[in-house]
Amino acid sequence: MAGAGQGSIAGRVVDGAGRPIAGATVAVTGGSQPYRDIAAVTKADGRFHFGRMHPGQYRLAARAKDELRSADVVVAADQQADVEIRLD
């Protein structure tokens, strides 16, 4: 769980038909994180999670099978931002 004043980002990567994509790489850029280049790989259900995020705006970039899509997300203190990224 996130620390006091921190939030999290949770979501999933799906294909054009809404089916989960396993093994997609999701990277986080921007915001006020004290470190760079954080990434996760989606699980079988297409889900990913980033915890202990400082409040701010971030860009997520999802890549699978040579396709790349990005989404902007705002993290608020003590809350979870939910996002779905669709790769066609």
- Is residue 1, in this structure, part of any structural domain at all? no
Residue 40's pLDDT is 96
**Which CATH number fits the domain that encloses residue 15?**
2.60.40.10
- Is residue 88, in this structure, part of any structural domain at all? no
Residue pair 57/74 in contact (Cβ under 8 Å)? The answer is yes
- Is residue 2, in this structure, part of any structural domain at all? no
For residue 44, count CB atoms less than 10 angstroms from its CB and return exposed for 0-12, middle for 13-18, buried for 19 or more: exposed
Q: How many folded domains does the chain comprise?
A: 1
What SS3 class is residue 18?
Answer: coil
Domain that holds residue 28: 7-81
| pLDDT digit string, tens, across residues 16-66 | 999 999 999 999 987 665 556 799 999 999 999 999 998 999 999 999 989
